[in-house]
């Protein structure tokens, strides 16, 4: 049964049972209206209230400044790989126009200067980089660092900032804060990307799909962050983008499609336009209000549990991760932690079970853990091994059960 299982899956991830029970009821009859939350119009007053409250609670929890817009999008994290390219390249063109460039000058600037920079530190930033190459052409995409080059072709380290080859004035610098597959997390915001005292600095975009809500985010350092809901926020189906208002009208309207066409730059689908979604309060087209409702319930529970908001959750996440890594480090003869200690993810804990035959050892590890109700521990199919996804919904007792198993399996 559900109460006997601790589910460490990487996403979709475990959800708090009380929230699912409440959501199940809301699906049948939302607040005595006789209609379920997935049946009510996305343009109804109650839908508007759910959207507004969820945005406000997210702002409160993460301390998002007023000069950022929160939008709910569709298309998942992968959709945002494309959205970031379309929106940030568009903003680059608009800025050049605002600085006085006419079409002729723009054509020259595109050919000579247009770059988007990527820090590739794992499978998801690699996918985002590949999407940028596909949409823009690789001549406009700068691989500022590739972590595999310092680790025998594998992910697991983050190259020192001094080795990053950043472009002079890129349309954005993109990175993934927590690499879900490879278990690599940036320990903090990169120093070389920090804004100057007057707020000027590189345009930084981050994918926070798998560590959002688990630690403090210096939001003001970013032009945009995005995250799919299906790990720490709620159920699969919506993606949140937190976008600095200077990227939106009136400061920065997107260029006309005809101009982009003239310049040979890609024109994004309207549903991936930050401007369009923001202007319509996330209701340009039919949004799953159920998904927003569930995310809202998760945020309300976090706010009720932790008076000091994300700091409180961060302390618990750090504690759980320290317990699990501690148990692994105690048995280096049995467990080999994959990423370098300095960049270990607190959310996705990746390790190998060693032995004469690693595959057989890992199979017996998975079989034995499953018998105890510890599930979802198989690593991503592209890298193998074991992965413990230590998201917010894993209670401390769940992490302790796993630690007990790690000790016992290690001794056997
Ligand atoms: N970024 C990260 C860090 C992810 O972990 C994932 C999915 N696990 C994605 C992006 C892609 O998200 P989606 O499957 O919603 O497209």
- Residue 69, beta-bridge partner list: 243
The average pLDDT across 157-176 equals 98
Q: Could you report the per-residue pLDDT of 169-200, keeping only the tens digit for each? A: 999 999 999 999 999 999 999 999 999 988 88
Q: Are residues 276 and 315 in the same domain?
A: no
pLDDT at 205: 98
Instruction: Please check whether residue 13 is in contact with residue 228, taking contact to mean a CB–CB distance below 8 angstroms.
Output: no
Q: Rounded distance, CA 409 to CA 365, Å?
A: 7
ipTM over 0.95? The verdict is yes
Structural domain for 290, as ranges:
45-297
Give the model's confidence band at 246: pLDDT under 50 very low, under 70 low, under 90 confident, else very high. very high
pTM for this prediction: 0.98
In a domain, 166, yes or no: yes
pLDDT greater than 90 at residue 412: no
Residue ID of nearest Cα to ligand 1 atom 7: 77
Ligand 1 nearest-atom number relative to CA 228: 15
Residue 355 Cβ contacting ligand 1 at under 6 Å:
no
User: Of 251, 275, 297, which residue is a domain's last?
Assistant: 297
In a domain, 378, yes or no: yes
User: Of 297, 324, 352, which residue is a domain's last?
Assistant: 297
CATH number (domain holding residue 356): 3.90.1150.10
Q: Are residues 163 and 225 in the same domain?
A: yes
Task: Measure 198 CA to ligand 1 centroid, in angstroms.
Answer: 34
**What sections of 283-375 are H helices per DSSP?**
289-305, 310-330, 358-371
The average pLDDT across 250-264 equals 98
Residue 75 Cβ contacting ligand 1 at under 6 Å:
no
Q: Rounded distance, CA 192 to CA 179, Å?
A: 20
The average pLDDT across 11-29 equals 97
Q: Are residues 240 and 152 in the same domain?
A: yes
In a domain, 231, yes or no: yes
Number of helical H runs and strand E runs in the chain: 11, 14
In a domain, 386, yes or no: yes
Q: Are residues 287 and 198 in the same domain?
A: yes
In a domain, 317, yes or no: yes
Q: Are residues 113 and 257 in the same domain?
A: yes
User: Of 248, 276, 297, which residue is a domain's last?
Assistant: 297
Residue ID of nearest Cα to ligand 1 atom 15: 76
Residue 210 Cβ contacting ligand 1 at under 6 Å:
yes
Tally the domains of the chain.
2
Q: Are residues 6 and 58 in the same domain?
A: no
Mean pLDDT, rounded, of the chain:
97
Which is it for the CA torsion 42, 269, 69, 206, positive or negative? positive
Residue 354 Cβ contacting ligand 1 at under 6 Å:
no
CATH number (domain holding residue 169): 3.40.640.10
Strand order across the beta sheet in which 335-337 lies: 335-337, 348-353, 386-389
């Amino acid at each position: 049964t559900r109460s006997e299982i601790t589910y460490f899956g990487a996403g979709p991830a475990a959800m708090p049972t009380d929230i699912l029970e409440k959501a199940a009821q809301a699906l049948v009859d939302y607040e005595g209206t006789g209609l379920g939350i997935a049946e009510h119009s996305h343009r109804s007053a109650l839908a508007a209230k759910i959207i507004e409250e969820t945005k406000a609670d997210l702002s409160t929890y993460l301390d998002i400044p007023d000069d950022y817009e929160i939008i709910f999008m569709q298309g998942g994290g992968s959709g945002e790989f494309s959205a970031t390219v379309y929106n940030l390249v568009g903003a680059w063109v608009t800025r050049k126009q605002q600085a006085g460039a006419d079409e002729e000058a723009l054509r020259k600037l595109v050919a000579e200067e247009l770059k988007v920079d990527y820090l590739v530190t794992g499978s998801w930033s690699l996918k985002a980089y590949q999407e940028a190459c596909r949409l823009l052409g690789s001549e406009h995409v700068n691989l500022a660092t590739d972590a595999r080059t310092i680790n025998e072709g594998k992910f697991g380290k983050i190259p020192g900032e001094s080795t990053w080859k950043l472009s002079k004035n890129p349309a954005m610098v993109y990175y993934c804060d927590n690499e879900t597959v490879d278990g690599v997390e940036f320990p903090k915001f990169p120093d070389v990307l920090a804004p100057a005292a007057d707020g000027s600095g590189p345009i930084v975009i981050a994918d926070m799909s798998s560590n959002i809500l688990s630690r403090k985010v210096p939001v003001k350092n970013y032009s945009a962050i995005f995250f799919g809901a299906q790990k720490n926020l709620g159920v699969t189906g919506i993606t949140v983008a937190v976008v600095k208002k200077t990227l939106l009208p009136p400061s920065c309207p997107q260029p006309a499609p005809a101009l982009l066409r003239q310049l040979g730059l890609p024109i994004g689908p309207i549903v991936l336009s930050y401007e369009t979604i923001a202007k319509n309060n996330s209701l340009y087209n039919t949004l799953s209000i159920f998904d927003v409702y569930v995310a809202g319930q998760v945020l309300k529970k976090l706010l009720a549990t932790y008076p000091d908001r994300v700091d409180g959750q961060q302390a618990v996440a750090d504690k759980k991760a320290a317990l699990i890594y501690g148990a692994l480090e105690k048995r280096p003869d049995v467990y080999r932690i994959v990423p370098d200690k300095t960049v270990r993810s607190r959310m996705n804990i990746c390790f190998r079970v060693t032995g004469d035959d690693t595959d057989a050892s890992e199979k017996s590890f998975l079989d034995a853990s499953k018998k105890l109700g510890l599930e979802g521990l198989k690593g991503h199919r592209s890298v193998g091994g074991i992965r413990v996804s230590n998201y917010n919904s894993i209670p401390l007792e769940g992490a302790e059960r796993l630690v007990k198993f790690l000790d016992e399996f290690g001794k056997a």
